Structure 1
Amino acid sequence: MGSRERKKAAAAANSSHHNSKEFRASTSSSAVVNVESVERGFLINVFLERNSPGLLVRILEAFEKLGLGVLDADISCSDCFQLQAVGEENEGRKIIKAQVVKNAVKQAIKEWSESDGQA
């Protein structure tokens, strides 16, 4: 993904998916994960209503297993956990679908929750 495409994806993410108030309003006490395909990559939003030490590492490990690189990310971990990222498929890997990325993130959250004893 070139610089122009990256900026375009980040701008689209900021305008339509990075409105924190809108994103929070649609959540419940469980994690909310949204993944959308963009040209050669994904817009990824994750929200959890509580502070979640160690969760970011789990999610980044899931991205790595998929061969997904993070081009841009906004992360908040103070009172709640919120990740908004633009990810790109690494060269030479098979094409990933948005649902596969979403499932991998949900699995990472589940494993984090179980390992920390937080159901």
Structure 2
Amino acid sequence: MADGGSEMGSRERKKAAASSSMNHEKPTEFDASTSSSAVVNVESLVRGFLINVYLEKNSPGLLVRILQAFEKLGLEVLDANVSCSDCFQLQAVGEENEDTKIVKPRVVKRAVKQAIKEWSESNGQT
């Protein structure tokens, strides 16, 4: 990109769109294991997604699983906020790579849910 200013403006517009739409869609809850539940919310942005994940407890290794799921889908993480101290919280803005086919929000949500399920099973939490 020759014009870094327009790229940054695009990112800021995405963040503004994400902030204004965060409360418009009800998150989907599901049981990731018998002992905890996760909340996953995926919203479309202009060229990418705002992904929110919340688990009630600290979840070592889960971030890696979710990032691997993004990679499989061809999503590049542009910005992320993660907290893993008492609970697991992730808010990420992911953008589709130029070589990636257009991905739907439900596909991203399904991939994140699958990553949580696999993480849960591998940690003996089912």
Q: Same fold (TM over 0.5)?
A: yes
**Counterparts of 1:1-119 in structure 2 under 5 Å?**
2-17=7-22, 29-119=36-126
Structure 2, unmatched stretches of 5+, are: 1-5
CA distance in 1: counterparts of 2:21 and 2:48, whole angstroms: 16
Equivalent residue letter for 1:57: V
Normalising by structure 1, report the TM-score: 0.86
CA distance in 2: counterparts of 1:70 and 1:17, whole angstroms: 18
Q: Please say if residues 17 and 45 of structure 2, whose CA atoms lie closer than 8 Å, have aligned partners that are also in contact.
A: no
Aligned sequence identity (%): 72
Please tell me whether Structure 1 or Structure 2 has the larger radius of gyration of its CA atoms.
Answer: 2
Q: Please say if residues 74 and 97 of structure 2, whose CA atoms lie closer than 8 Å, have aligned partners that are also in contact.
A: yes
Q: 1:12 Cα deviation (Å)?
A: 3.3
Q: 1:43 Cα deviation (Å)?
A: 0.5
CA root-mean-square deviation: 2.2
- Bigger mean CA deviation after superposition, 6-15 or 89-98: 6-15
Normalising by structure 2, report the TM-score: 0.81
Q: How many residues end up aligned between the 2 structures?
A: 113
Structure 1, unmatched stretches of 5+, are: none
CA distance in 2: counterparts of 1:11 and 1:27, whole angstroms: 28
CA distance in 2: counterparts of 1:2 and 1:27, whole angstroms: 36
CA distance in 2: counterparts of 1:97 and 1:110, whole angstroms: 20
Q: Please say if residues 10 and 72 of structure 1, whose CA atoms lie closer than 8 Å, have aligned partners that are also in contact.
A: no
Residue aligned with 2:65, SS: helix
